Amino acid sequence: MGRYLRAAVAALMLSAAGVAALSQQAAAASSTRFYVDRNSPACSDSGPGSRAVPYCTIQEAANVATAGDTVVIAGSNDDYFNGGYSPYDENVVITHSGTSSAPITFEPAVQTYTLYGPAAGFTIKGDYVDVVGATIGSQQHTPIVVSGSHDTIKGVEAELNVASVGPTIDVEGTGTTIERSRITG
């Protein structure tokens, strides 16, 4: 009887592991790309965030993005300084979390995107969030605040224009990775 019970328990455990693996694969397969382009005449913060009807603000995309999703942000630092592209003047608060195998990613459509203004920046409260390719300049707010865990800041240039306001980056969470970034101010 003991041998049959052990076999039944082992079969049940393998079955549960298979269901968990399928659930993770399904979650990864259902990832979505949301688009943000404040300069698009078709942008809408009540729209689907598609390439044809992108969100106007990064915050609206952050409000709907979940594990495995990617937010693609239009804008180029070069275009802005040549008089073409206007920056996003917003403090994006990210409350949703990704997973170790399916982070939420904020990335540029081309080279970089710019957040610039009095309170511009990212406040990351979720776990497993990747912020990639941003140029951030703020006058009254710490440009990057991380209180989630296992978040990644990659290829980011952040500058705090008034040193008396506080640090340029404030990491309170655990397991945060900062790579290929320039933090000044």
Whether the predicted pLDDT of 64 surpasses 70 = yes
Beta bridge partners of 153: 131, 178
Higher-confidence residue of 6 and 50: namely: 50
The torsion angles phi and psi of 87, rounded to 5 degrees, stand at -75, 165
Beta bridge partners of 160: 138
Least confident stretch, 8-12, 37-41, 159-163: 8-12
Long-range CB pairs of 2-8, under 8 A, 24+ apart, other chains included = none
Q: For 100-120, what is each residue's pLDDT tens digit?
A: 999 999 999 988 888 888 888
Q: Is the pTM of this model over 0.85?
A: no
Average pLDDT over residues 69-74: 96
Q: Are 139 and 168 in contact (CB under 8 A)?
A: no
Q: Give residue 138's pLDDT.
A: 84
Q: What is the mean pLDDT of the chain?
A: 81
Q: For 139-185, what is each residue's pLDDT tens digit?
A: 777 889 999 999 999 999 988 876 556 778 899 989 999 999 988 87
Question: What region does 121 belong to: left with phi over 0, alpha with psi -120 to 50, or beta?
Answer: left
- CA pair distance 18, 62, nearest whole angstrom: 32
- CA pair distance 75, 113, nearest whole angstrom: 5
Could you tell me which residues come within 8 angstroms of residue 138 by beta carbon, excluding any fewer than 6 positions away? 115, 116, 117, 118, 119, 120, 121, 159, 160, 161, 165
- CA pair distance 102, 155, nearest whole angstrom: 20
Whether the predicted pLDDT of 28 surpasses 60 = no
pLDDT confidence tier of residue 61, bands split at 50, 70 and 90: very high
